[in-house]
Structure 1
Amino acid sequence: MENKTIYILAIESSCDDTSAAVLQNKKVLSNIVASQKIHQEYGGVVPELASRAHQQNIVPVVHQALMRANIDKKLLSAIAFTRGPGLLGSLLVGTSFAKSLALGLHIPLIEVNHMQAHILAHFIEGQDYRYPSFPFLALTLSGGHTQIVMVKNYFDMEILGETLDDAVGETFDKAAKILGLPYPGGPLIDTYAQQGNPKAFPFPKPKVDGLNFSFSGLKTSILYFVQKEAKANPDFVLENRNDICASIQHTIVNILMDKIKEAVRRTGVTQIAIGGGVSANSGIRNALKAAERKYGWHTYLPKLEYCTDNAAMIGITGYFKFLENRLTDQKISAQARYKL
């Protein structure tokens, strides 16, 4: 069936981005993302506001995806959508829309795990590397997840380690909030870090057994450090912002790299792929490329547009599921917690 032309309309609505994409087999014809600015004034995503914004955005976003792909909806082979994990109210909007449209067009429905899609985004055509070959290790980094996954094939994935408390993206955003930076603060820390000294302020690295992560202690140490220094000098953060950001990012990247090195040592697998919103971070990308040169690994860094939440990654997962006839029915429901 791989030789047949398959058109997948994909819908992603797990958090605060409404996205729709059209794929022709592995090729992305369109990938539209509508971001919600309203959460900035609250310093984080407000679930009720997110689901309302999805309701406003989903029809124009899907319409634009079809227009940009220049195909009629009657040509669609199937509709893929994010079932979970994510915010339930947000997921309900995408799930309900996908079910209704599939019913109206009399075409199959495909449910997709959001975290699995972040990993399979590497198989979208047109990236500057050949696809990873199985097995490979995936480091998934987002606002809600930090995982090391053994990927044996498209649908056989095993979590080797994950965070015991906070996710890496949430840690970046909380650190930014402590420094008085607006939401979302993770990308701002990355920007300032590139101009600072990563060894200016040492922060402790948590001792966690195995391949699991913990970031709650790091967040607490950043808070106490800033409070202590600001008490002695109210302008401390402003005067040292680049160095503080560089030191925070350096610590987080080291935590991640220590664990991925351990995963390579334990499994013998030297192909490493990253995914999720935080995989856009320049410090992590640079560290992986340096490790590739030093240890002879093969590393796969997705295009930035496929790092953050987007429907193209839902579409590529839907494509592989369609090939194997892994379809769902109209009884399917959204799932806020959805294991990989």
Structure 2
Amino acid sequence: MKAPEQYDPSKPSNNNSVPPSMKKSANSPAIPAGTPTITQNHKRTAQAENKPFQWQFLLPKYWGIWLLFLVMLPLIYLPLRWQFWLGRKLGILIYKAAGSRRRDTLINLKLAFPEKPEAERELMAKQVFVNQGIGVFETLCAWFRPNIFTRTVSISGLQHIVNAQNEQRPVILLGAHYTMLDLGGLLCAQFFPVDCMYRTQNNPLLDWFIYNGRTNIFGKQISSRDMRSLVTSIKAGHVIWYSPDQDYGLKQGVMAPFFGVPAATITASRRMAKLGSKTHPPAVMALHTYRQTPDNLPRGKRPHYHLTITPELDNYPSRDEVADATRVNEILESLIRIDPTQWMWFHRRFKHGPNGRTDIYK
């Protein structure tokens, strides 16, 4: 079978650049010499508890999920290169089969990159699904085989977290929905303990799998509706990963440009930044995760990953919530542009306008 044509993020026409640290060998040290590390007193002291199993999960309506896991789990014990090959095939299959998701992706890319030819946007869309297919295997490995990712990651900007933590300040780490989402959390945990904010899944069994898979990655998982736990983590000075890059309407958000398109943007991060004490206010910074796959590595080399942490946002939050939302969107956009195809464009990012739902996805 002929390999599908792939979008190449290294082409000049994309205005992207591979982070310099990605040019290192996959065998390079995880932490460069001289890089500061989180002090001992900030290490996680307790293992998060799993959600209990429910007997209703054995009902026929959940058999499809069980079957999927029974098929996929044995495959994560294959070499990583083989898993990536399967992930690419899976991504292409989903791209062809998931008509509505493919259409939403193409609409999003047309809005965000109107200057690009349609053919290039189609290649980008296909690569988004390829990256997500790879991300399925990465996520399962992060849950069940985390040790295979040792010495496969480099990091820049770690000192920003270290400095804030050494000042006994909590950190609000603004992430995004990249296709290596849960693996990104695992890679961060190699350098610093981190709590995460999450939204409960509509399917109880899927939520059970995801939550329990993440207990070995994150120190604490905080429901987006559990304000008490969020306040507790902030007052305890933890690093908290929060992703403000999806469209949840304007009940708790404002309209702000994202890739030049007006988008409903949640403003929870600015409210979180106000929850700390006056003497130890939270430091807000952004996180980017980047995957360098075997496709663009020398033969025989393992995949390599890079984490980028931006400097702390100064004067944040300000008195202008629209300006704050615009600023956060600009930072996330600049990071996503490193390789746009590693972000989940199949979500309806622009489904709300100032007057409610739009019809752009119809």
TM-score, length-normalised on structure 1? Answer: 0.25
TM-score, length-normalised on structure 2? Answer: 0.24
More strand by share: 1
